[in-house]
Amino acid sequence: MDVLAELLTSWVSSPWAVVVIFAVCVLDGFLPVVPGETVLVAAAAVAWTAGPASLPIVALAGMGGAWLGDNIAYLLGRRVGAAGFAWSRRPRVARVTGYVTRELASRPESIILTGRFIPVARVLISIAAGATGVAHRRFLVLSLIASAAWTTLTIGIAIFAGTFLSTQPVLATVYAMLIALVVGVIVDRVLAWTRDGRRQGEAT
């Protein structure tokens, strides 16, 4: 365990860590399979337990990568449309895309801001925003705010776990990743209940 802790600490302290965090968060913005939260919260937890001085750099790398990734997804949506991806033809994905497309027309701010916290949904939302013609300047600002909020929450989770396990960076990393997963599931469920409630209200 001590050897692993030393390896994690030395990795976070290296310049390559910033590059990896930034790159993973960029890819996470338009590739649903890339675990952006996992990498960022793990790096932040290790940084906090090893020495908080490197934490702002980790945060900036995560926020910048998330913002750029979201905008790449937006531009992809503008270029090929929401239905231009093979995985978008799956029934569940198609239903979510349809819902997102309808909601973007009436409340793009709340959809873009809250969607950043849901791993797969944020990709669909960014693509749908580009496909449905949400102004890019508007999306740039909203995605920046969303990326900053997402990074703040992720770093906060890492600090919370690292504070109680300051001498055990490996356990702090594991607990931070589990907390981030639980938070993502909760946000997803809350938005699903809100969506179902809205549908029932419209039906009546």
Per-residue pLDDT of the chain (204 residues; tens, 9 = 90+): 443 444 455 555 577 788 889 999 999 999 888 888 888 888 887 777 766 667 888 899 999 999 999 999 999 989 887 565 555 566 666 676 777 788 888 888 888 988 888 878 889 899 989 988 899 999 999 999 999 989 988 888 888 776 765 555 555 556 555 666 666 666 666 655 655 555 555 555
- Whether residue 48 contacts residue 57, with contact meaning beta carbons closer than 8 Å, is answered with no
- Whole-number pLDDT of residue 158: 80
- Token pair of 61 as six digits: 């790398």
The count of structural domains within the chain is 1
Among the listed residues 112, 134, 16, 12, the one whose alpha carbon sits nearest the alpha carbon of residue 66: 112
- Residue 87 makes CB contacts below 8 A (sequence gap 6+) with 32, 93
Domain assignment of residue 44, given as a range: 2-203
Find the angle CA(156)-CA(19)-CA(125) to the nearest 5 degrees: 60
